[in-house]
């Protein structure tokens, strides 16, 4: 009887979730960011702040001498990025966006970022300048690096989740 009740409750919860037709629009509102971060990034107990179009969530380590992790959310794109490196972690609007915060192996992280970036480059007639073309995180969830467009070397910043990119001056 208990199993049947659990199955029925699960089915009801699923159907209620499917009936939720509220759409998320950009730029994200504070209530949407807080709700989506709680659902996707497990930020219970983290400190919250906002400055302009950036929402910040800072972990509170149990060791008072430890540094916490700060995740920023670009309200214009929904992309979540780690503040120190500027590297993208996920996107709150794209349901299929992976959560890279769960990837603890740096090589796997780099490989997954490269794989997503390569798809965007291919769609736009761009090719990596070399195997290690990604130079780092640009902030606001963008990565940057050198690519070739029509045979000419250019530096771009790219949001792998929204597929937005633009040519920039080389930051070095």
What confidence tens digit (pLDDT) does each residue in 68-125 have?
999 999 999 999 999 999 999 999 999 999 999 999 999 999 999 999 999 999 999 9
Considering the chain, what percentage of its residues have pLDDT values greater than 70?
87
Tokens of 119: 């798809």
Q: Report cis status (omega within 30 of 0) of the bond before 27.
A: yes
Dist. CA 111–CA 116, nearest whole Å? 9
Dist. CA 170–CA 146, nearest whole Å? 8
* Whether pLDDT at 17 is above 50: no
* Whether pLDDT at 5 is above 70: no
Burial bucket for residue 69 (CB in 10 Å: 0-12, 13-18, 19+): middle
Torsion over CA: 137, 139, 143, 145 (sign)? negative
What letter does residue 130 receive in the DSSP assignment?
A: S
Q: CB of 31 within 8 A of CB of 41?
A: no
At residue 71, the pLDDT reads 98
Per-residue pLDDT band at 171 (split at 50, 70, 90): confident
* Whether pLDDT at 11 is above 60: no
């Amino acid at each position: 009887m208990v199993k049947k009740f659990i199955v029925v409750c699960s089915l009801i919860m699923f159907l209620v979730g499917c009936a939720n037709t509220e759409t998320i629009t950009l730029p994200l509102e504070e209530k949407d960011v807080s709700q989506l971060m709680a659902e996707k990034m497990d930020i219970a107990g983290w400190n919250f702040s906002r400055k302009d179009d950036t929402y910040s969530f800072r972990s509170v380590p149990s060791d008072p001498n430890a540094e916490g992790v700060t995740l920023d959310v670009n309200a214009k794109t929904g992309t979540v990025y780690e503040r120190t490196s500027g590297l993208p972690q996920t996107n709150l609007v794209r349901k299929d966006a992976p959560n890279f915060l769960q990837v603890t192996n740096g090589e796997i992280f780099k490989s997954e970022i490269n794989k997503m970036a390569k798809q965007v480059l291919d769609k736009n007639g761009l090719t990596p300048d070399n195997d290690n073309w990604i130079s780092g995180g640009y902030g606001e969830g963008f990565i940057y690096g050198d690519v070739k467009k029509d045979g000419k070397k250019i530096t771009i910043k790219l949001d792998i989740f929204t597929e937005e990119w633009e040519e920039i001056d080389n930051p070095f």
